[in-house]
């Protein structure tokens, strides 16, 4: 039987998230593999996969905060806000020469915090039941509605000028789920009057999971899997359950009189296995997802 848990993969560039899932399915010998959020083919970095019952944990990761490293090129705007599509406009050298680091930092500061962001038109967001990127590729003009996102950190790591006069920025972004780094590049370029897009993007963190501990797609024979109990403990506070409480949860009963609790909790058995993800109800707990008997 295939073990259940989470697998961290460092996705290479030009691979789709589906490519990675298909490769891991073949490597571990099960079709029950899913991911906790796509990465564009251009992007590299952390892709969190669930194996077997580990797929039940993915729903708790979809909305997790994320960290990205990106290269933003100022001076060129593109259809997709990255380097994978045609150029819309190129800034003149005079406009680029007028942009200095103080101006860049000022506009970065304006894009930090709780902001309204219009997602990139070439995205997986659905419009009338169709993916926005499919509509754009078919020749339709798509402008998605702005939505609230949180950019908790937008750090300018370094900047340089290319031989052509373009400005290349190395940035680090901590943000809420649903934030488009491509849109940040676009909006930064627009604010500076020269346009902008990303030329490189790397996701380094999803929630508490870091790319430093990820598996390489070229070395799946030595795949490292994070067991259910450990993965859940990385996501939530834990509570140790008695045998009686484990039985109650398996039979759909709530736990009563467990004291004040807040947020989701991972319930572990006496042997350290993940029994369920729990949520507070009054002074008790009820199961959101049950895992007992699905550890291996």
Active site residues: 40
User: For residue 192, what are its two tokens?
Assistant: 């500076």
Q: In a 10 Å sphere around its CB, with 0-12 CB exposed, 13-18 middle and 19+ buried, how is residue 152 labelled?
A: middle
**Helix, coil or strand: residue 27:** helix
Cβ atoms of residues 127 and 142 within 8 Å: yes
Residues near 189 by beta carbon (within 8 Å), at least 6 away in sequence:
72, 74, 75, 77, 195, 196, 197
Pair of tokens at residue 220: 């799946």
Instruction: State the DSSP string of 233-270.
Output: HHHS-EEE--HHHHHHHHTTPPB-------S-EEEE-T
Residue 174's DSSP bridge partners are: 67, 153
Q: Are 225 and 244 in contact (CB under 8 A)?
A: no
Q: DSSP states of 45-78 as a string?
A: EEEEEEEGGGHHHHTTTTT--EEEEEEEEETEEE
Hey, which bits of 162-217 come out as E strands? 167-175, 196-206, 209-210, 215-216
């Amino acid at each position: 039987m295939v073990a259940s848990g989470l697998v961290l993969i460092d996705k290479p560039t030009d691979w789709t998230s589906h490519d990675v899932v298909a490769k891991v399915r073949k490597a571990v010998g099960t079709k029950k593999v899913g991911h906790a959020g796509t990465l564009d083919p251009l992007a590299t970095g952390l892709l969190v996969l669930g194996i077997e019952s580990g797929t039940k944990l993915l729903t708790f990761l979809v909305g997790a905060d994320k960290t990205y490293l990106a290269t933003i090129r100022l001076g060129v705007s593109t259809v997709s806000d990255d380097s994978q599509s045609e150029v819309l406009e190129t800034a003149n050298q005079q406009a680029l020469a007028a942009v200095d680091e103080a101006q860049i930092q000022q506009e970065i500061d304006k894009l930090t915090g709780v902001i309204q962001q219009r997602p990139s038109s070439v995205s997986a967001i659905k419009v009338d039941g169709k993916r926005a990127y499919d509509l754009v590729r078919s020749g339709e003009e798509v402008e998605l509605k702005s939505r609230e996102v949180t950019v908790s950190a937008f750090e300018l790591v370094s900047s340089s000028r290319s031989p052509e006069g373009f400005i290349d920025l190395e940035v680090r972004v901590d943000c809420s789920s649903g934030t488009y780094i491509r849109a940040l590049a676009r909006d930064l370029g627009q604010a500076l009057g020269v346009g902008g897009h990303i030329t490189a993007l790397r996701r380094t963190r999803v929630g508490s999971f870091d790319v430093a501990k990820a598996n390489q797609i070229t070395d799946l024979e030595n795949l490292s899997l994070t067991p259910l109990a450990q993965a859940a403990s990385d996501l939530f506070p834990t509570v140790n359950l008695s045998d009686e409480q484990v039985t109650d949860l398996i039979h759909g009963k709530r736990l009563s009189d467990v004291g004040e609790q807040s947020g989701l909790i991972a319930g572990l058995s006496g042997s350290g296995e993940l029994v369920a993800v729990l949520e507070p109800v009054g002074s008790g707990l009820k199961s959101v997802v049950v895992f007992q008997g699905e550890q291996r």
